[in-house]
Structure 1
Amino acid sequence: MVSADSRLLEPLLSEDLQYSHSTGAVDTKKTFLSLINKKETRYVTYQPLERTVAFASPEIAFVNGRAEIGVQHDGQSLEKTFVFLSVWRLEKDAWRFLRWQSSQLVSAVPVVGDIRVIGESEQKNGWQLLVEGDFENVNGEADTWSWKSGVLSCTGRPVGVTRFHKPLENFELSLQWRHMSSGGNSGVFLWAPSESLLDLPPGKLPRGGIEVQILDHGYTQQYKKKSGRKATWFTTDGDVFAVGTSKMNPFPPLSPNGARSFPNARYSRGSPQWNHYYVRAVNKEVRLWVNGHEVSGGDNCSPSIGYLCLESEGAPVEFKEIYLRELP
């Protein structure tokens, strides 16, 4: 469907296909292929968010979940989030597409879990709201990082970081972030060693630390367009990985090379919506919650003391309600 190549698609379709669109229209195999061949509506991207598979019998499989679908229709591009149910049937030793039913969500907001809200009682228990004076610009320009009304804005240029004013060992971090353009890239560095920041020139990131990645969903499409390859070595929902001289044993699921902890589900919202990260970095272990759901992390981190940094990497990004709690 994404490639709109009916020659490749046709063998995957069952002869008695019923494809029910979110508009209520229903296509058979013949009319569905005709719709694609007309190229009036073209599926250009398909980004699965989460899905489950259940077998009603050895020959019937149900797949349901949620996906972001990019469509071009009458010269206009649309990106929508759908919930879907598809049915596959085993026919002549091959699985073929039998049924599809989808419904467009009113908004692309994922299910929100138990987000840690920092109020007055939490602040009495050691939580500290970080402000401009708590950070030091490491290798950015004077205007790379700026504060206004409690929001920390980053231009994304040059590539680099701003850091908390002192090294940390055991701590919790709660913050909100959002990308201001599709495909934005940023991140949070934990335990970045002092030497990894020493004389760091503009355009460079720390030479060590544990990165909690902050990527907009549009980055996947940009990567594929630029490289011509499918994005398999990263996700846009909260990868955690060691950088440079640092080491970490990532929690599964893992990236193909085993270096990254991939999220176990997809909960990030796309630009320009706000997202919430809760990070717990304690006793050489890192755990990440995205919008209230624990998704990724790792243990046996080395070193496990260093600087907390926010990353500038080529695109505008904003942070707010940055809370830190140091632990014993």
Structure 2
Amino acid sequence: MLKKLFLVAAAAALFSGCANVMPTGGGSASDAADVAAAAERLRIAMVDPTRPALSTLVADELSYGHSGGKVDTKESFIADLLDGKSDFVTITITEQTVKVVDARTAIVRHALAADTNDSGKPGKVALKILGVWQKQGGDWKLLARQAVRAS
């Protein structure tokens, strides 16, 4: 468990250093780094999903638009990951930008390349992602996400 926490912390530190973070409005560089770290924890949780990890990263009001047109809620998003309907074997994030709009809102954009095994069927996906993160209490949570197929 300690090793896994160390790996998550190291990945978040590395990843937040690579992200293009742009605090604006009421946001700070610290906020931008926190959002980038939350986005990295979500990437890890999508590859190795657990209900507690996903629940702490996703807002109750989640609206997640998939590239194929399906729209998920928090519950359907988590359920699909846990039961393997949506199974990410690997996820690589590139071209990430984090723009903190104000003290409670951030916009994250990135390219996502993944190996999948949805419902036992191997595949690959290349997407462009727009995420809206909201600070709830002391935590940044994914409020909305829209995926489109990368050309």
TM-score band (shorter)? 0.5 to 0.7
Matched, 1:79 2:79: no
Percent pairwise identity: 26
Counterpart position of 2:133: 88
Counterpart position of 1:30: 75
Counterpart position of 1:45: 90
Amino acid at match of 2:102: S
**Which of the pair is proportionally richer in helix?**
2
Counterpart position of 2:144: 99
The alpha-carbon deviation at position 7 of structure 1 amounts to 2.2
In the aligned structure 1, how far is the partner of 2:93 from the partner of 2:81? 21
Counterpart position of 1:69: 114
In the aligned structure 1, how far is the partner of 2:97 from the partner of 2:85? 31
In the aligned structure 2, how far is the partner of 1:4 from the partner of 1:70? 15
Task: Structure 2: state its 5+ residue gaps.
Answer: 1-45
Contact 2:105 2:132 in 1 (8 A): yes
Amino acid at match of 1:75: G
In the aligned structure 1, how far is the partner of 2:81 from the partner of 2:60? 17
CA-to-partner distance for each residue in 1:146-191, whole Å, 9 max, x for gaps?
xxxxxxxxxxxxxxxxxxxxxxxxxxxxxxxxxxxxxxxxxxxxxx
Contact 1:2 1:46 in 2 (8 A): yes
Q: Larger radius of gyration, structure 1 or 2? A: 1
Scaled by the length of structure 2, what TM-score is found? Answer: 0.66
Where does structure 1 differ by over 6 angstroms across 4 or more consecutive aligned residues?
Answer: none
Amino acid at match of 1:7: P
Range with greater deviation from structure 2 (68-77 or 44-53): 68-77
Task: Structure 1: state its 5+ residue gaps.
Answer: 107-328
Kindly report the root-mean-square deviation, in angstroms, between the aligned alpha carbons of the 2 structures.
1.2
In the aligned structure 2, how far is the partner of 1:95 from the partner of 1:21? 21
In the aligned structure 1, how far is the partner of 2:73 from the partner of 2:87? 17
The alpha-carbon deviation at position 42 of structure 1 amounts to 0.7
Matched, 1:16 2:65: no
Counterpart position of 1:120: none
